[in-house]
A = this chain, B = another copy of it.
Amino acid sequence: MKSVKIFAPATVANLSCGFDVLGCCLDTVGDEMKISLTNSNEVKITKIDGANLPLETHKNVAGVAVEALLASYEKKVGVDIEIYKKIKAGSGIGSSAASSAGAVWAVNHLLENPFTAQELVQFAMEGEKLASGNAHADNVAPALLGGFTLVRSYEPLDVIKLHTPKDLVMTVIHPQIEVKTSDSRSIIKHNVSLKQAIQQWGNVGGLVTGLFTEDYDLIGRSLQDVIIEPLRSILIPEFDTVKKEVIAKGALGCGISGSGPSIFALSKGEQTANIVAEAIQEVYSKTGLDYDIHVSKINSQGVKIID
């Protein structure tokens, strides 16, 4: 029975200006999974450690993602999936994406790569659809491709890997409150002013340029969100204070990770990212809320084999 053990990375989607299209992959935060090919012709979730998630294949994001892959595969195979969950569900750093992306990547690897990265994104999106009702790609794309990714288009799906400046380091705080993705989406307005849309796409252009030219200052100037953040940030305790403090400590930019409640700050260099982490800790230690803080380089590889 062929099997592989993998690291399935956490991801930060949206990156302020790039709602639904931009994302990046973390290096030190993620799940572990063991995926095995079997002769059962079935996809089975055989173990879940660290989270209370459904074992029924069709209710499990990794299960439905792998079933989507196998539906496009010429031969009949079975897959056993063990999930060692470390990313907390509902944290806003791509917990469901890690499981979906990790599972399809590993199965593709065990089958000797019949599918392209683009196809794997499409399969993993089935997991996202199950998790949130919306087949978005801005977490599964960076989990699968690594680094920074752009979803240029959803119809047809067109996912592009951007360049990763080597000194970028992410600090993420996860306040342990529950903000459901569905609630977080319902707070968003269906229409935006053209003026704000122009500001947003100016910043998307600026951020992508900053990544390719390794212009850290431009990356910082472009990390702005005039459309979603003003609405969603009210769901996140102390968001404005955290943002103010981390910018004062030298972070390039700060925003909501995915649909929240996690907050990300992007810095140049680990030293600044650690100072930023301390600043966030100082704000959050006064709230009485539980929280996790992560500091991570950008993972330019995506899902990785471990053992």
Fill in one digit per residue for A184-201: 1 if any B CB lies within 8 Å of its CB, else 0.
Answer: 000011111111011111
Most buried by B among A151, A195, A202, A221: A202
> Which single member of B152, B154, B202, B227 contacts A153 (CB below 8 Å)?
B202
Within 8 Å by CB of A209, from B19, B192, B195, B208, lies B208
A20 contacts partner chain B, Cβ-Cβ < 8 Å: yes
Task: Judge whether A56 is part of the interface by a CB distance below 8 angstroms.
Answer: no
Chain B: CB-nearest residue to A151: B202
CA distance A159 to B12 in the complex (A): 27
In the complex with contacts A191-B191, A192-B194, A221-B153, A162-B209 CB distance below 8 A? yes
A60 at the interface (CB under 8 A from B): no
Tell me whether A146 is interfacial, beta carbon within 8 Å: no
Chain B, Cβ-Cβ closest to A207? B205
For the complex formed, measure the closest distance between the CB of A116 and the CB atoms of chain B, giving whole angstroms: 15
**Considering only CB atoms, which chain B residue lies closest to A153 in the complex?**
B202
| Residues in B neighbouring A302, C-beta threshold 8 A | none
Seen from chain A, the residues whose Cβ lies within 8 Å of a Cβ on chain B are: 17-22, 150-154, 158, 160, 162-163, 188-195, 197-209, 212-213, 218, 221-222, 227
